[in-house]
């Protein structure tokens, strides 16, 4: 079957999205952009095709006993991918130890690293048996935190210390991320199937999905790294147009779009067809974008996904004046030392970034009904809360749309452009 692909090379994450012949979403894939857009685009695309094949499995299994097992099969597949990467990481670290560690520590290093990887594997196996829990999709995030935790327990301050172990990890994780690995559907679906017990109906559905020919007829790229894509100019679209069109496709009543991404904020006005009629973006300074939250999360020793829920517990929002990311970090520490609660400070920080985007919205022509919020920050409940309040205060009642797939808005717009191109 033919399909089209949209790729959004963002500053933080790279997204790919596949549409089928009817323009329906078949698959989505996401990865961290690293500093290697070529690889990020390839990984995101692979992920999107894996996802598309799972959609086919789902379609095929629909109405059969196997339908209920597809979710578990997906989780098994993701785990197999992770374990494959982990094995590769382990090999790289052991080789690195042989190449660069002091000779007297080599043996102890081998023991420690093997033990860490064994424990991570065991944890992942255990995790698979439990109900799904939210965590970052990326290998680096998932394995990184477990590695640090275990390394802290088993590190020997007088021998292979925590710092030495982490140093070895840091050296090798970048290579794992930047080497193309066998992570495709065909590579791991067999082991994943075995893990869920090879249910007969599901095996048939998987076989159908494996052999199905998915032929991309057109690809359109957008986002910061789009110049890196080996496409002719007509296959490259600005993310403004893609976000406008993507938001329109998700919510056809959309007239205003706010996208807060990793390093920029876009305020976009669209007409009833999703054509951009006006837009504004930040350019001299990127304070108040997604990276700001990333920095704050680091400062507070929290995961990015933990910020919003914590801020939502606030009863009294602290006013943060600094719009500069670095100064906001300083203000945060000062407030903490004055005894302010973490959740109240975080609520203030979320409001501060939203206030900055309100000025861009005003510049672009205000907030019309309906208003769609997209980008990675739209996943953050506290940011959404602040947006809702400030839009209400400044423009009155507006319908606020947020799609759970909002991070794919740009990729969706790009795929829609590709779809029109292929038509």
Site of interaction with another protein (CB under 8 A):
224, 237-241, 245, 264, 273-281, 283-284, 363, 365, 416-417, 420-421
The smaller minimum CB distance to another protein, of residues 237 and 350, is found at: 237
Percent of residues in the chain assigned helix, strand, coil, to nearest 5: 60, 15, 25
**CA 186 to the chain's CA centroid:** 23
Sheet holding 256-260, edge to edge: 276-281, 265-270, 256-260, 371-374, 400-401
CB 144 within 8 A of CB 2: no
Q: How far is the CB of 397 from another protein (least distance, A)?
A: 23
Alpha helix (H) residue ranges in 31-105 = 37-61, 70-100
Q: What single string gives the DSSP state of each residue in 111-153?
A: HHHHHHHHHHHHHHHHHHHSPP----SSHHHHHHHHHHHHHHH
Smaller CB separation from another protein, 194 or 420 = 420
Nearer residue to another protein within complex by CB, 109 or 417: 417
The least distance separating another protein from the CB of residue 372, rounded to whole angstroms, comes to 16
CB closer to another protein out of 29 and 262: 262
Which of 139/279 has CB closer to another protein? Answer: 279
Q: Would you give the distance in Å from CA 44 to the centre of its chain? A: 10
Please give the Cα distance from 109 to 165 (Å, whole number): 8
Cβ distance 348 to 317 under 8 Å? yes
Give me the least distance between CB of 281 and another protein, in Å please: 6
Min dist. Cβ of residue 222 to another protein (A): 10
Closer to another protein by Cβ: residue 175 or 363: 363
Q: How far is the CB of 254 from another protein (least distance, A)?
A: 13
Question: How many Cα atoms are found within 13 Å in the side-chain-facing hemisphere of 275?
Answer: 4
The least CB distance from residue 233 to another protein, in Å, is 10
Q: Which tokens belong to 237?
A: 């679209």
């Amino acid at each position: 079957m033919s399909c089209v692909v949209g790729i959004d090379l963002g500053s933080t994450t790279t997204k790919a999205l596949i549409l089928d012949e009817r323009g329906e979403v078949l698959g989505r894939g996401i990865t961290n952009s690293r500093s290697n857009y070529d690889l990020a685009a390839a990984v995101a695309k692979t992920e999107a095709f894996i996802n598309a094949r799972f959609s086919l499995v789902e379609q095929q299994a629909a109405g059969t006993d196997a339908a209920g097992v597809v979710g578990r099969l997906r989780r098994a597949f993701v785990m197999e991918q992770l374990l494959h990467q982990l094995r590769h990481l382990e090999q790289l670290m052991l080789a690195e130890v042989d190449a660069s560690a002091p000779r007297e520590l080599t043996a102890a290093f081998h023991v420690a690293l093997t033990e860490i990887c064994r424990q991570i594997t065991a944890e992942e196996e255990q995790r698979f048996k439990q109900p799904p829990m939210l965590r970052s999709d990326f290998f680096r995030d998932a394995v990184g935190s477990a590695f640090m935790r275990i390394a802290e327990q088993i590190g020997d301050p007088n021998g292979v210390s925590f710092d030495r172990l982490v140093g070895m990890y840091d050296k090798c994780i970048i290579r794992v991320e930047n080497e193309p690995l066998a992570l495709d559907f065909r590579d791991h679906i067999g082991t994943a199937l075995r893990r869920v017990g090879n249910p007969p109906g599901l095996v048939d559905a998987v076989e159908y999905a494996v052999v199905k020919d998915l032929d991309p007829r057109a690809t359109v790229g957008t986002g910061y790294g789009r110049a890196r894509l080996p496409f002719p100019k007509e296959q490259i679209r600005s993310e403004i147009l893609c976000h406008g069109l993507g938001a329109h496709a998700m919510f056809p009543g959309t007239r205003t779009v706010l996208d807060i991404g990793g390093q920029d904020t876009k305020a976009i006005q669209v007409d009833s067809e999703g054509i951009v009629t006006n837009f504004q973006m930040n350019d001299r300074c990127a304070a108040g974008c997604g990276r700001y939250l990333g920095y704050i999360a680091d400062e507070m020793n929290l995961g990015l996904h933990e910020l919003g829920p914590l801020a939502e517990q606030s009863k009294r929002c602290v006013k943060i004046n600094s719009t500069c990311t670095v100064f906001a970090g300083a203000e945060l520490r000062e407030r903490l030392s004055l005894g302010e609660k973490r959740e109240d400070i975080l609520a203030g920080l979320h409001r501060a970034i939203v206030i900055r985007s309100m000025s861009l919205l005003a510049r672009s022509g205000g907030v019309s009904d309906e208003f769609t919020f997209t980008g990675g920050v739209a996943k953050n409940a506290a940011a959404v809360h602040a947006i809702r309040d400030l839009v209400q205060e400044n423009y009155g009642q507006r319908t606020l749309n947020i799609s759970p797939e909002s991070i794919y808005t740009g990729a969706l717009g790009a795929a829609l452009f590709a779809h029109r191109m292929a038509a």
